[in-house]
Structure 1
Amino acid sequence: MLLIYNENTNPYFNLAMEEYFLKNTSEDLFILWRNKPSIIIGKNQNTLSEINLDYVKEHSIPVVRRQSGGGAVFHDLGNINFTFISCKNNSFSDFRKFTQPIIDLLKTLGLNAEFSGRNDLLIDGKKFSGNAQYNYKDKVMHHGTLLFSSQIADLSNALKVKSIKFEGKGIKSVKSRVTNISEHLDNNIDILEFKNILMNYISAINPENKFYTINKKDKEEIEKLVEDKYSTWEWNYGNSPKYSLLNELKYPGGNIEFNLEVDKGVITKIKFFGDFFGKEDISTLEILLCGSKHKENELRELLNHVNINDYFLGADVDILISGILGAK
């Protein structure tokens, strides 16, 4: 098995890296990596229903969709991600096979970790690792998180969805009580020390394991995937399943209720209701917005040419866009 100790913390690069190696390796792989603060969305999820959009915008947090299913997770530099790519003897539902080495390592450090449910690892009943898998041809990619010294408050804030009603086929995340590995260790070690311990442990399992360094060609191909896919709105937001959004916003001029239907990231139907005043017929604005991407910069480009006050007395572009995107 090839071992990659990846030091890149760019989430777009790291998610693209997984896909690149999955599709281009003929040898089993194990990769350790970290992301700077970011939200990683499951393949089948509706992005806007999973994130606290205001918090994400305020803190400029990247939101990236991964290849595998499962729920949304918050990554920061206090979290280690591990990836197994298995090229043979695969069982798509065998989560225990890939998580057992993690459990075994933690036991050597005095921690009683256990596998729980369909894809979680727990210490004292609290989750420190969520896992997901993706199948490509005859290969399986298994990846998981290891909360070591993550900022739990940031995690909950970034993923805390406000009282917006989304309806659709997107898979909802299941919220769990979480903990950091470091809180349960007797010895005071930092995350990079732990990352080294984990890599050395995996390396020692099989004497045939050897390290691999990402080369120039690998990096160029990964960067192309970043540009074409992983950094794009189309993949991270537009790829959400068809959904409806019902939102209500109170502003100084009254209340506005937003009713949207979105398919492949494009607004297919939008209606405004409320006790607001306006001298122009609101249907004109509804027709204008149909066909627009459910995306801030495109909405802003459309609405910057409109006198919003003519339709919603006392409102402006920022108020209307925040309501359309589901913010309060």
Structure 2
Amino acid sequence: MPGDMQGSQQLVRGECKMPGGKLVAVSVTISCEPASEVSAVRMVHCQIDGDFFLESVDRQEDLVEDLDQCIVSMTFPLEAPVVEGALARVLQEHKGVELIGASARTLTLALLRALEQADVPAGAIRAYGPLSPLAQGQQAPELYRDLDQEHRHVFQKRWRALPLQIVVDRPRQPAQEVALDAALAQAVCEGREPATLRIWNWASPAVVIGRFQSLSNEVHLQTAERLGFSVVRRVSGGGAMFARPEHVITYSLYTPAQFAQGLNHLWTYRLCDWWLIESLNHLGIEAGWSGMNDIASSQGKIGGAAERRFPGRAGEPGALLHHDMLSYDIDTDTMMQVLNVSQEKMADKAVRSARSRVAPLKGQTALSRSQLLTALLAYLPTLAPKAHLARLGEQVEQAGRQLAAERFSQVQWTADIV
């Protein structure tokens, strides 16, 4: 598909999905006069987006901005190994930041696929070879249910020692939900609040996009607004979440960073969702982990998680924010109208469409949504005996209200990637 033309400039976009990982996309604006020489072609703007994750001890956005600038500074003709090497060096220079679910190679392939669509002189791009999807022919991730003895011991020990407050929250509008997530994570990071499990209570339908996703490429915004869905952006990476209040169970876990100390990102996800997996299995619902951050059964995906680390300063403990959305029921027709599901992403799932990926819990239990949530929380003290019910403090409530007004309800925050 040719790029969008504006005079001598063209806007093109390419995507690449890492097998078993995440999707990354590169949108570039190219300046290219008709009949110009290869050396005269320029990339004047770049925007990287996707459902990848970043783990960092400092500003995550700096890495994305530096990758954007690296691409813009490249000169034609472009050779794939040179592009990959330059992007790899940027990743290496950001020693405190880890790109999860994507790589210099998938970034390079996304860029080259974008440039394939542009009207540029012959010889401007020298690729690896045919740019077929990396994910083509991949099998769906294996369902992982049984922990090895070592990790089970670690998980049991950490959950039993966790002084966890459980907050079954009141109904909140979508911007307030994601704002409170940031406020409570920061409070735990600074040691002002203990570890907390917060059950969200949606006041209205919503789409929540990941920190590095492109609003225009992920959501059919006019359709979402017409159907009554608010669109908000959260502080963590990952993919879009489609939520009807009566169809989902959403929770956030906020813990001091030490809770996940020594575990890589894969095992951190499993640690944080261990209580959920154990609770579901106790209720007779088959559940396990699929890939890095999905909760699934043999019937399909049940839910998905996202995380972000908050570094501590000057004696602060730092914090881990982990949130999960489970599908109790789903309106796939509306979801497919509202979300723009990438075919590149679907190719890695070994399924034909997003419809066949989701296996809502309603089809796997006789319990209602509220009964299921009550049963999950009732089992939690078996694993975390220090867990107790609590209410949010006024300081956190106030911080959440302020963040919702100043950032999370603002169009600029929702539309801008960095």
* TM-score range normalised by the length of the shorter chain: 0.5 to 0.7
CA distance in 1, matches of 2:288, 2:300: 10
295, 300, 308: which one pairs with 1:134?
Answer: 308
Query: What is residue 368 of structure 2 aligned with on the other side?
Result: 190
168, 172, 181: which one pairs with 1:5?
Answer: 168
SS in 2 for 1:89: helix
CA 1:134–1:179: 2 relative to 1, 3 Å: same
1:93-146 CA-partner distances (Å, limit 9, x unpaired)? 121111121111111121211201111111224111111100101311111111
Decide whether the 8 Å contact of 1:44 with 1:240 is kept in 2. yes
1:164-191 CA-partner distances (Å, limit 9, x unpaired)? xxxxxxxxxx957112101111x2x221
CA distance in 2, matches of 1:70, 1:127: 15
Decide whether the 8 Å contact of 1:92 with 1:135 is kept in 2. no
CA distance in 2, matches of 1:67, 1:92: 20
Decide whether the 8 Å contact of 2:209 with 2:215 is kept in 1. yes
CA distance in 2, matches of 1:101, 1:80: 14
Decide whether the 8 Å contact of 1:4 with 1:32 is kept in 2. yes
Paired letter, 1:4:
V
Paired letter, 2:180:
M
Q: How do 1:1-328 residues align onto structure 2 when only pairs under 5 Å count?
A: 1-25=164-188, 26=191, 27-35=194-202, 36-77=204-245, 78-87=247-256, 88-90=258-260, 91=263, 93=265, 94-137=268-311, 138-160=318-340, 175=354, 177-185=357-365, 187=366, 189-237=367-415, 239-240=416-417
Decide whether the 8 Å contact of 1:4 with 1:213 is kept in 2. yes
Query: What is residue 308 of structure 1 aligned with on the other side?
Result: none
Query: What is residue 311 of structure 1 aligned with on the other side?
Result: none
CA distance in 2, matches of 1:206, 1:117: 26
Paired letter, 1:84:
L
Query: What is residue 305 of structure 1 aligned with on the other side?
Result: none
Decide whether the 8 Å contact of 2:185 with 2:254 is kept in 1. yes
CA 1:116–1:162: 2 relative to 1, 3 Å: closer
Paired letter, 2:364:
H
Decide whether the 8 Å contact of 1:34 with 1:79 is kept in 2. no
Decide whether the 8 Å contact of 2:217 with 2:340 is kept in 1. no
CA 1:9–1:123: 2 relative to 1, 3 Å: farther
CA distance in 2, matches of 1:89, 1:98: 9
Decide whether the 8 Å contact of 2:252 with 2:322 is kept in 1. yes
> How far did 1:9 drift?
3.5
Identity of aligned residues (%): 21
Matched positions, count: 228
CA distance in 2, matches of 1:135, 1:117: 20
CA distance in 2, matches of 1:227, 1:154: 29
Query: What is residue 315 of structure 1 aligned with on the other side?
Result: none
Decide whether the 8 Å contact of 1:84 with 1:141 is kept in 2. yes
CA 1:150–1:115: 2 relative to 1, 3 Å: same
SS in 1 for 2:278: helix
> How far did 1:16 drift?
0.9
The gaps in structure 1 that reach 5 residues or longer are 164-173, 242-328
CA distance in 2, matches of 1:43, 1:100: 25
Decide whether the 8 Å contact of 2:255 with 2:319 is kept in 1. yes
CA distance in 1, matches of 2:264, 2:251: 17
Of residues 225-234 and 212-221 in structure 1, the stretch that sits farther from structure 2 once superposed is 212-221
SS in 1 for 2:413: helix
Query: What is residue 36 of structure 2 aligned with on the other side?
Result: none
CA distance in 2, matches of 1:59, 1:162: 21
